[in-house]
Amino acid sequence: MSNISDKPKRTRVHQIALAVDFADTDAAGVVYHANYLSYMEKCRGDFLRARGVSSSWLASEYGVGCVVVKAEIDFRRPARLDDWLEIDLNVDDVKHTTAWCLQNVRKDDILLVEGRIKLATVSLQSGAPVRMPAELRNCFKDSYETLSKPD
């Protein structure tokens, strides 16, 4: 497996900030590893909502959900109780049913965690992959194309 850092660097498309809560940590005050996935999920949800698309709207309008089907995570340094974290998202690739997002967690511009997340659009009724609704695809595609265009 190649290092996530080996991917080309891009400008952040979307970023959120949050403080590490007591519930996110272990007895030593260090963020439990699985909580980084939750932080990344919050960033992706905020990214979509900022572009007029929400999970509840996708479910009611199209009967689909956007689910994680693969996650590659590199843990570099720990975050601790009460740290302020920045979680960012870059769109890496978009297909008919899937999108890849590169996501990083930083504290004071120090990289703590790198993630590469593959999302798929699935039918909520059958769980089978389905084509992304245009509104969802455009959220990802517009962000990806903006970053991919040469200057």
Does the pLDDT of residue 151 top 60, yes or no? Answer: no
pLDDT in tens, 12-60: 589 999 999 999 999 999 999 999 999 999 999 999 999 999 999 999 9
Strand partners, 47: none
Q: Assess whether 26 carries a catalytic annotation.
A: yes
Q: Which of 6, 21, 24, 26 is catalytic?
A: 26
Q: Is 65 in a helix, a strand, or coil?
A: strand
- Which strands, in side-by-side order, build the sheet including 98-107? 14-19, 84-94, 98-107, 110-123, 64-75
In tens, the pLDDT along 89-140 reads: 999 999 999 999 999 999 999 999 999 999 999 999 999 999 999 999 999 9
CA distances from 19 to 28, 38, 43, 82 (A): 17, 13, 13, 6
Beta bridge partners, 72, equal 116
- Average pLDDT of the segment spanning 71-96: 97
